C-alpha cells in the first residue's frame, strides 16, 4: 500500500529525474555521467571525472549547481594551492583574542556542491584536510570541527594518480567515470545543444532543493538490501579475485549507491540490476572491461528487467565486432571514387574517434585485430594526401 509519505518521496524523485533529463538535453553524449551524478546525489557519495580539457566536465557541474538552491564551491587546484584557498583564512578579529577560528564565508565548508578541478594536483598541505572532507563530510582545523552541508563532492583530472599519497585521495571517490569528446556522429546535435544553452538564459528550468536531496539521502538508508545481499557478497569476492582492491570500507559504502539506484527507480527493495553502479569503481582504465563483464554476468540473473534502472541495460564499453564492422564500412566508403572531400573529412574524424575507442578494448587479441584495419586505412589516407 502506497502511503502519503511514499508519494511525497516519489514526487522528490521525479524532481531529481527532471533535473537529470534537463542536463541530458543540454550535454549531448553525457547521459552516463549525468545518471551517475543523480546516483551520487541520492547516495551522498563522491564522484571522479577522468578526461581531457574541453569535454564539459566543469560545464556539467556548473549547470547542475544552477538547479540546486544551495551554495556551490568550485576550485582549480595546483601544486601550490594552500588550505586558506579552500577553507578560508583565520578570522583576524578573533585571532586577536587568541581564538583560531576560520572565516569560511563563501568557501568549501559552506557549500552544498563541491567541485575540485585537477584534483590530483593536491599537495600534502591540504591532503589530510581533504581526506576528512571526502570521507566523513567533516571540516577539522585546529580545535574547530564541524559537519559539512556538502551533498556531494565531484573531483576531476586528466590523469590518474601515480603518487601513493594521492591514491588515498582518489580512493575517497567511489564512482569513477570517463569523460570524452562526443562521437563525431553526434557533433551536429552537440552544436545545436550548445547554442541552445547560450539562448536559455531566462528559460524556466526544473529544480530540486538541497533539503529534498537530503530527504532522498535519508530515504536511501532505509532501502531493503537483503534480497541482493548474497549476490553482492559474491560480486565483491569476484572483483577481488580479479585484482580489484575493494576494501571493506568501500564495500560498505557502495551499498548506499546500490540503494540510491533502487530509490531513483521508486523501489523500496534493491534488485540485482542495481549492482550496475559497480561498473564504475575501477582504479585503472585497463580494469573497466573486466569489471563490466563481471558485473554484467551477475546482473544476468535479474528476473525483473522492467524494474531495472535504465543505465543497467546500457554497456558503454566498445564491442570489438561492431568496431571492426564500422571500420570496414569506412574503408569501403573511402575507396569509392565518388566520395566527396567533405565525406572524406568526415571519415577521418570518425576513424580518429574509432581509434580512441579501440584503446578501450580490454582483450589484447581483439584490440590488435581491430587496430590492424585502422592502421591500414590511415595508410591509405596518408598515401592519398
Residue pLDDT, tens place only, 194-222 = 777 666 655 788 999 999 999 999 999 99
**Whether residue 236 is found in the same domain as residue 291:** yes
Q: What is the DSSP letter of 118?
A: T
| Cα–Cα distance measured from residue 116 to residue 74, given in angstroms and rounded to the nearest whole number | 6
β-partners of residue 152 are 113
340: left (phi over 0), alpha (psi -120 to 50) or beta: beta
**Whether residue 10 is found in the same domain as residue 108:** yes
**Whether residue 268 is found in the same domain as residue 168:** no
Residue 214 resides in a domain = no
**Whether residue 309 is found in the same domain as residue 326:** no
Q: End-to-end distance of the chain based on CA atoms, in angstroms?
A: 70
**Whether residue 17 is found in the same domain as residue 58:** yes
Q: Which three three-digit cell numbers place residue 232?
A: 553482492
| Cα–Cα distance measured from residue 40 to residue 50, given in angstroms and rounded to the nearest whole number | 16
**Whether residue 48 is found in the same domain as residue 32:** yes
Give how far Cα 220 sits from Cα of 217, 259, 377, Å.
5, 5, 51
Residue 206 resides in a domain = no
Nearest to 260 by CA among 220, 224, 228, 290: 220
- The mean pLDDT of 62-81, rounded to a whole number, is 93
Q: Which of 199, 233, 248 is the last residue of a domain?
A: 199
Residue 215 resides in a domain = no
Q: What is the pLDDT of residue 4?
A: 45
**Whether residue 349 is found in the same domain as residue 269:** no
| Cα–Cα distance measured from residue 383 to residue 38, given in angstroms and rounded to the nearest whole number | 48
Q: Which of 278, 293, 313 is the last residue of a domain?
A: 313
Q: Are 13 and 263 in contact (CB under 8 A)?
A: yes
On the question of pLDDT at 347 being above 70, the answer is yes
Residue 22 resides in a domain = yes
> pLDDT-derived band of residue 6, with 50, 70 and 90 as boundaries?
low
Dump strand ranges (E) for 173-273: 175-178
On the question of pLDDT at 1 being above 50, the answer is no
**Whether residue 258 is found in the same domain as residue 137:** no
Q: Which three three-digit cell numbers place residue 352?
A: 580518429
Instruction: Please state, as a whole number, how many other Cβ atoms lie within 10 Å of the Cβ of residue 159.
Output: 10
Q: Report how many domains make up the chain.
A: 3
Counted residue by residue, the chain has a size of 385
**Whether residue 128 is found in the same domain as residue 43:** yes
**Whether residue 87 is found in the same domain as residue 115:** yes
Local structure of 284: helix, strand or coil: coil
> pLDDT-derived band of residue 311, with 50, 70 and 90 as boundaries?
confident
| Torsion, CA 133, CA 135, CA 140, CA 141, rounded to 10 | -70
Instruction: Please state, as a whole number, how many other Cβ atoms lie within 10 Å of the Cβ of residue 43.
Output: 28
Q: Which three three-digit cell numbers place residue 338?
A: 565518388
- The mean pLDDT of 153-181, rounded to a whole number, is 91
Nearest 5°: CA angle at 213, between 210 and 214? 90
Residue 255 resides in a domain = yes
| Cα–Cα distance measured from residue 124 to residue 83, given in angstroms and rounded to the nearest whole number | 10
Classify burial at 36, counting beta carbons within 10 Å of its beta carbon; exposed 0-12, middle 13-18, buried 19 or more. buried
Local structure of 70: helix, strand or coil: coil
> pLDDT-derived band of residue 262, with 50, 70 and 90 as boundaries?
very high
Q: Which three three-digit cell numbers place residue 188?
A: 551536429
Residue 210 resides in a domain = no
- Cell 582492491, residue? 245
**Whether residue 133 is found in the same domain as residue 193:** yes
Nearest to 60 by CA among 46, 71, 74: 74
On the question of pLDDT at 229 being above 50, the answer is yes
Q: Which of 252, 278, 313 is the last residue of a domain?
A: 313
| Cα–Cα distance measured from residue 292 to residue 264, given in angstroms and rounded to the nearest whole number | 21
Residue 208 resides in a domain = no
Q: How far does CA 20 lie from the centroid of its chain? A: 13
Q: Are 29 and 185 in contact (CB under 8 A)?
A: no
Domain that includes residue 271, residue range: 221-313
> pLDDT-derived band of residue 96, with 50, 70 and 90 as boundaries?
low
Residue 138 resides in a domain = yes
**Whether residue 81 is found in the same domain as residue 229:** no
The mean of the pLDDT values for the chain is 86
| Cα–Cα distance measured from residue 206 to residue 190, given in angstroms and rounded to the nearest whole number | 21
In CATH, what number is assigned to the domain containing residue 124? 3.40.50.300
- The mean pLDDT of 320-337, rounded to a whole number, is 89
Amino acid at each position: 500500500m502506497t502511503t502519503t509519505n511514499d508519494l511525497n518521496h516519489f514526487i522528490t524523485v521525479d524532481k531529481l529525474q527532471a533535473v537529470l533529463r534537463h542536463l541530458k538535453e543540454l550535454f549531448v553524449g553525457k547521459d552516463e555521467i549525468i545518471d551517475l551524478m543523480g546516483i551520487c546525489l541520492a547516495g551522498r557519495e563522491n564522484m571522479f571525472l577522468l578526461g581531457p580539457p574541453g569535454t564539459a566536465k566543469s560545464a556539467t557541474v556548473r549547470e547542475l549547481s544552477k538547479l540546486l538552491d544551495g551554495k556551490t564551491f568550485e576550485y582549480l587546484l595546483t601544486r601550490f594551492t594552500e588550505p586558506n584557498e579552500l577553507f578560508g583564512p583565520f578570522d583576524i578579529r578573533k585571532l586577536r583574542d587568541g581564538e583560531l577560528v576560520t572565516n569560511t564565508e563563501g568557501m568549501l565548508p559552506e557549500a552544498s556542491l563541491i567541485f575540485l578541478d585537477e584534483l590530483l594536483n593536491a599537495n600534502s598541505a591540504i591532503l589530510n584536510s581533504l581526506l576528512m572532507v571526502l570521507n566523513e563530510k567533516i571540516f577539522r582545523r585546529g580545535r574547530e570541527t564541524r559537519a559539512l552541508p556538502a551533498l556531494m563532492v565531484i573531483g576531476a583530472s586528466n590523469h590518474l594518480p601515480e603518487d601513493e599519497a594521492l591514491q588515498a585521495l582518489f580512493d575517497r571517490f567511489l564512482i569513477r567515470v570517463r569523460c570524452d569528446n562526443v562521437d563525431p556522429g553526434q557533433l551536429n546535435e552537440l552544436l545545436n545543444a550548445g547554442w541552445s544553452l547560450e539562448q536559455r538564459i531566462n528559460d524556466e528550468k526544473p529544480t530540486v532543493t538541497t533539503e529534498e536531496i537530503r530527504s532522498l539521502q535519508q530515504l536511501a538508508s532505509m532501502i531493503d538490501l537483503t534480497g541482493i545481499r548474497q549476490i553482492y557478497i559474491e560480486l565483491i569476492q569476484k572483483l577481488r579475485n580479479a585484482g580489484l582492491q575493494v576494501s571493506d570500507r568501500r564495500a560498505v559504502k557502495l551499498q548506499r549507491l546500490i540503494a540510491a539506484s533502487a530509490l531513483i527507480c521508486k523501489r523500496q527493495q534493491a534488485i540485482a540490476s542495481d549492482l550496475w553502479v559497480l561498473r564504475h569503481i575501477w582504479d585503472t582504465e585497463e580494469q573497466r572491461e573486466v569489471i563490466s563483464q563481471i558485473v554484467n554476468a551477475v546482473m544476468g540473473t535479474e528476473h525483473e528487467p522492467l524494474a531495472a534502472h535504465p543505465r543497467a541495460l546500457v554497456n558503454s564499453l566498445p564491442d570489438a565486432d561492431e568496431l571492426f564492422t564500422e571500420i570496414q564500412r569506412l574503408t569501403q566508403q573511402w575507396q569509392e571514387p565518388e566520395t566527396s572531400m567533405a565525406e572524406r573529412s568526415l571519415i577521418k574524424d570518425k576513424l580518429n574517434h574509432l581509434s580512441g575507442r579501440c584503446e578501450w578494448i580490454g582483450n589484447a587479441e581483439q584490440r590488435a585485430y581491430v587496430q590492424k584495419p585502422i592502421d591500414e586505412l590511415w595508410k591509405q589516407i596518408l598515401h592519398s594526401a
